[in-house]
Every structure is written in C-alpha cells, then in structure tokens.
Structure 1
C-alpha cells in the first residue's frame, strides 16, 4: 500500500508565493515558449482562485460588520 502525502489546505499566502515563483520562472528567460504559456496559464488560474477567495472574505467581513451594527442598534441607550 502506498502512502499518500497529505495535501495541506489551500492558503492564500501560499498561492501568492506560487504565483511569484511562476512569474520569476517566466521572467528568467530560460523557458521555451510553450513552458512560458503553461506557467502563465497556471499563474492566471491561481490568481483567479485568489480573487475569488478575497471576494468571499470581503463578503464575510461585510456580514460581520452588518451584524455588529445591528447588535449596536439593539443595545439600550444609557
């Protein structure tokens, strides 16, 4: 039975680091055109995932702020 390496949960910071690595590879000038396009596509997909993640977190923050505002309105005035 082969052991599977546990995949770590997706992390925004790790994804950004991956994009930075891909960009460095592209900018190195050491890749052929097909590899450049492949790395570019990987970077674009990762950035899309990051953008979706940030949008989801923005919406969560808005909900929290809205809930805090409602709680504040419900407090009796002193």
Structure 2
C-alpha cells in the first residue's frame, strides 16, 4: 500500500475504504489525501456480512489497471 501511495501521491486527491484483514474480527477504515493517510479499526464484521475490502480513489490520470493489480497482489499475500 505504501508503495502504491508514494508512486501516485501527486495525482491522488482522496482515497478511502473498508478493508478486510486476515485473522482480524474488525473492519479497517483506511483513508487519506495524497501522502497523508490513517488506518483505524472499526466495528466487528456482522454475521452474514461479506468480508470484502472496498477502496475508492479520486485523482487525476491514475493508472487504474496498475492499481487493481497491486491490490490483487495484496489479496494473494494474505490468502
């Protein structure tokens, strides 16, 4: 995540999302602006709720496919 943010920080206006972290009962709220970001634990996942991470990026000229590939690598590393 750090590499992705540093590489595209000048073009990132805002990003936020809810992440599902392996072996953690709570959702992780991740948000930021350019190089500044925070990650905070939120409530526990509800019974029947799909444990799926979702991120939204708002920016200029962002390489969508590269960002998708980087997240796919993160997902593979925790499965």
TM-score (structure 1 length as normaliser): 0.28
Larger radius of gyration: 1
Structure with higher strand content? 2
